[in-house]
Amino acid sequence: MSAPDASVVVPAYESHRTIAACLEALRRQTFAAFETVVVDSSPGSESERIVRGAFPDVRYEHVPQRLLPHAARNRGAERARSDLLVFTDPDVYAEPRWLEALVGSHRASGHITVGAIACHGRRWLDVGNHLCKFAKWLPGGQARSVDMSPTANMLCPRRVFVELGGFPGEHLLGDTSFSWRARRLGHELWFDPRAIVSHHHTQNFRELLGERYRRGAMFGQLRADWYGNRRALSLLYLLVSLLPIRLARILMLTAAHCRRAGHLFDLVSTLPVVTLGHSAWLAGECRTYARLLVRLPDSTAE
């Protein structure tokens, strides 16, 4: 068999509520020369029955041990046959021209290409959740360079993926460290607002705040590791995170992103959710910095 022009990699874990809609959206793509690779590490067989029963063309693999999402993406990339690796999620639904726009943008620029992420549905909590997480990548505005690419909508050439060593599969912020490494090595992350997927949020308010807090704690550790675990830097980030300085800055940036995309009304109407979500993230970061300051030896202070 000849290699497809693109390989779409989808990690799955207990994804039976959304994966059919995800794969159905991929089936409707105007860009036809691609394959879909699903790597499922669910303990049950619900997702497997859905994929094998309704989507026989999908290349499906069930892994008996639990894989975190980025480890599953790495495994899918190994199985993929194309030199263009496209990453998305099982709770993400692509618009029909998504892959056509994503691949076309990459062919024009040669860069790692980042697509836009819209909110699936209009529930108040879901819209606020979405703006808290994905305001930077809302559809709208001009194509532009961005500083980070979420794996809900990313195209990366295989040669670059190999150069970067794939995603760090051992933690949940692998797309962040992948993006940082890419930019450090001179690779641009090019955002195309025409390549649109919609993210289906299924969390309640308590789950949202808990996830934001945990992700913030992970991000604090990732940032500390990235900069060599320097005591002075951990102290600085602890202070500006405890004070309203960073929260105010984050909300101003969120407002700028929403204004560019025409979502200022959505931001105003969901501001309590957005503010509490970002506050929970910063609280998680503060916890990490405080613990690092207790543990770090004095020799890291320079």
* Predicted local distance difference test score (pLDDT) of residue 120: 98
What the chain holds in terms of domains, given with CATH numbers, is 6-199 (3.90.550.10), 205-300 (no CATH)
pLDDT confidence of residue 171 = 87
SS3 248: helix
pLDDT at 116: 98
- pTM for the model stands at 0.95
Q: Are residues 137 and 184 in contact, defined by beta-carbon separation less than 8 angstroms?
A: no
**Amino acid (one-letter) located at 33:** A
What pLDDT, in 10s, does the model give residues 51-109?
Answer: 999 999 999 999 999 999 999 999 999 999 999 999 999 999 999 999 999 999 999 99
How many CB atoms neighbour CB 280 within 10 A? Answer: 20
DSSP 145: E
Tell which residue, 207, 211, 237, has the closest CA to residue 223.
237
Percent of all residues in the chain with a pLDDT value above 70, rounded to a whole number: 97
pLDDT (mean) for 175-184 = 97
180-227 pLDDT, tens per residue?
Answer: 999 999 999 999 999 999 999 999 999 999 999 999 999 999 999 999
